[in-house]
Amino acid sequence: MVGRPGAGKTLLARCLPSILPPLEPDEALEVTRIHSAAGRSIRGRLVVERPFRAPHHTASAAALVGGGSGRPRPGEVTLAHRGVLFMDELAEFAPTVLDALRQPLEDRVVRISRQGAALTFPADFHLIACSNPCPCGLGPPDCLCSEANRARYRRRLSAPLVDRFDLRVALGPAAPGAAPGDASHVVRARVAEALARQRSRYGGRPWRRNARVPAGALSRAIPLDGAAGDALRNVAERCGWSGRGMAGVHRVARTLADLDGRPDVAPEQIVLAAGLREEVL
């Protein structure tokens, strides 16, 4: 999410746990083991709520992805396993720290090699991030930054990292007098119904969510009819997406259909998913 300070980016991000379903039993065991091994207090009980981790932008690569001197320790991406990693002021993180995220986002594990040993930490998390549009935060048309400063700010976020965000949206302040949206418990019920549809669809397969369907299996697991397939190819060609970007829009469109209770993906859901992948910086 990109927008001016005060647009509500951080508030929206911190509301995300309120619409996520509780951990499933096997996920709860995973998360409990991780937090116990990391020395975090779990008070002898099973963790049932999805983790929400929000590291400060001064965090090091070791703090974020794990490692460190001596005995390697799990980082924030592992503590956020089966939950959410929230990175506020994304462009303020060091570029080397941000680039360290690319491998966990792709493989959903962290691999750390040391002399005589190699460790693998789980890291299957949702990444949500916020950023200002430029260093001054105002963005066009009121931006006070020089073009050189804006370009330097954009370069802090590498194209390969930005490409891994399936949802990229620009936010503006809410209009005065705008009606509030649905309450969290209403949205959470819709999310739970959509997840139930996904579990039913993928029964017997090694994934449960649209987001985890491998790119090579999309055409079999989430087939598109002629009109939806044409819409996806047309918009991908027009926008010049990578294969990863095209696969991401395919998955998002299927999720939108699940939220609407539709058995198939309609062209309008392809268009909406494409609109949620804006060029925000």
Q: Other C-beta atoms within 10 Å of 219: how many?
A: 11
Report the predicted TM-score, pTM, of the whole model to 2 decimal places: 0.91
Dihedral pair phi/psi, residue 83, rounded to 5°:
-135, -140
- 247: exposed, middle or buried (Cβ count in 10 Å: 0-12, 13-18, 19+): buried
Mean pLDDT by 10 residues, the chain (281 residues): 92 92 92 88 82 96 87 92 96 93 94 82 96 91 91 90 94 84 93 95 91 94 94 93 93 97 95 92 76
